[in-house]
Structure 1
């Protein structure tokens, strides 16, 4: 469908994206490029080219896709215009939108009072401090949201948060001015897709309700209606390898989630690729579409019933 919009954080400051951000003063392109590649309708050679990473010289570790977007940014009036132009080149189905074009940094504060600035530094600081993240914030705080991102949220029939890194990919979007308020005002079905595994350096020991509580703490209670979790079993060998890194399958504590006002729905949406647990894109899409159809029918039924009662009272 063309009626899909990916709204992406721009707080990344590590890897190739961080290098381009530092050298060219542009927003980080990496996460946005990944979303465009996922929605692209290109020949296999073009896809391979966009994913290519240089292995030698001063460009070592840098991807061609990042450089391509950086070049478009240099000849475009704004970063979001560059993203739009690259979307045309890749013939993507749908839209990819940066949540903001402001130059933002991510700061994390830990439960012991320590803090660190820089998305790429949070992992190492958490490992050193050995305690949970209390909260994250953007510097500067409350940057202005991209107008097209707010429009996409207003027009949405379903708003999906995640999956992704809780504190560095999902929550930063909610810290941009206007995003939470627009989601709250929407009558769309709002779903949080929980990660399959906990993440080393961010959410060790977390349950599903811990994730939801963190989202609500940084936004507003009741921001989502449902939480979609994985019910597929994780192979023992794969689980053991994750355990060596302090990660485990995310535990779905349904009662604690219900106490937060969120219904948990478990479906088989995970797969193993090259030894890593991932969401299966087709299965995840199917379950989201089915959930939307199921809840929309229920909502539509209530609407028809209410309308009938109004008309009936009017005739009386």
Structure 2
């Protein structure tokens, strides 16, 4: 029997779509899965390096690496299962270099005959909180036109070229988006872009035909979570506003509403460690960001773990949920 009450309808669960790939996205999702939201992660399938690249080539399947990382981040499993998913073989003819989670996805793909079904099946095994979807199920190759007009082919090769990137594009240019991804974008209360490699993790998703069109149609709050550090070979000397301008230029529309950017001072010993690899903090250039019409959330949002700077996933997630609730309240009030 229905419970008697005030008759007031409970607010629907907030729906958040997160678009990207790589380590940055996985870190964010570990925090977001503890918030009262339904998560759909739309993940890039342009990876061509390492274990993912080998499976893509040999098994004629989308590269599983970024999908594996996201599944593991959203999983509600024992720590040992996470170690199993992330285990990389160091020995064995044909096995060395392969990641066990990638092989599990490859096996599921063979068993089910469909990559999306494979991801869903493994999601069930891992008790994943939310939905994980590839941006497309087609084989996509990422290419970059450099400032000197040369073309570099392959996501893994672009940062190694040692040249400034003019633009990136997909081949085929008309790769079809996954229908479920488009529906998730349409239903979202918020769409989070990043964090992650600008040219090789974020833009490949936005360039899939239909994905960005769905984002522009969506009434969701559109946020960009800016990287903490520059990435050698991709975003050398980029400010926060430069990241935004590159995204807007690639899709042809200034669609972002909000940027979340770190404002914390980074210790000198950490800066030295990153400088050795050619990386530096991404400056939060507030005047330029405001000129772009963005609402700016600039707060200390980093932690230092295992020798690396990471977004403070818990704090970023709380900022995201607060922004969504504030916007919903303003719309209903």
Give per-residue Cα distances to partners, 1:225-278, cap 9 Å, x unaligned: 000001222111011121222211101112222222222211221111122111
* Residue of structure 2 equivalent to 1:267: 299
1:180 aligns with 2:216: no
1:68 aligns with 2:100: no
Counterpart among 141, 145, 160 of residue 109 in structure 1:
145
* Residue of structure 2 equivalent to 1:40: 75
Runs of 4+ in structure 1 deviating by more than 4 angstroms, as ranges, are none
Give per-residue Cα distances to partners, 1:263-311, cap 9 Å, x unaligned: 221122111112211112111111111121222222332xxxxxxxxxx
Counterpart among 231, 234, 251 of residue 283 in structure 2:
251
Contact 2:263/2:284 (CA < 8 Å) preserved in 1? no
- Which one has the bigger helix percentage? 1
Counterpart among 113, 121, 131 of residue 85 in structure 1:
121
* Residue of structure 1 equivalent to 2:180: 148
* Residue of structure 2 equivalent to 1:314: none
Structure with bigger gyration radius: 1
Give per-residue Cα distances to partners, 1:127-171, cap 9 Å, x unaligned: 2x3xx2110000000211000000000010000000000000000
* Residue of structure 2 equivalent to 1:16: 51
Pairwise CA RMSD: 1.2
Could you say what secondary structure the match of 1:3 adopts? strand
* Residue of structure 1 equivalent to 2:9: none
Counterpart among 212, 216, 224 of residue 244 in structure 2:
212
For structure 1, list consecutive stretches of 5 or more residues without a partner in the other structure.
302-316
Task: Classify 1:30/1:226 alpha carbon distance in 2 versus 1 (closer, same or farther; 3 Å).
Answer: same
Contact 1:222/1:262 (CA < 8 Å) preserved in 2? no
1:136 aligns with 2:171: no
Number of residue pairs aligned between Structure 1 and Structure 2: 297
1:168 aligns with 2:204: no
Higher relative contact order (CA 8 A, sep 6+): 2
Q: TM-score, normalised by structure 1?
A: 0.91
Contact 2:248/2:254 (CA < 8 Å) preserved in 1? yes
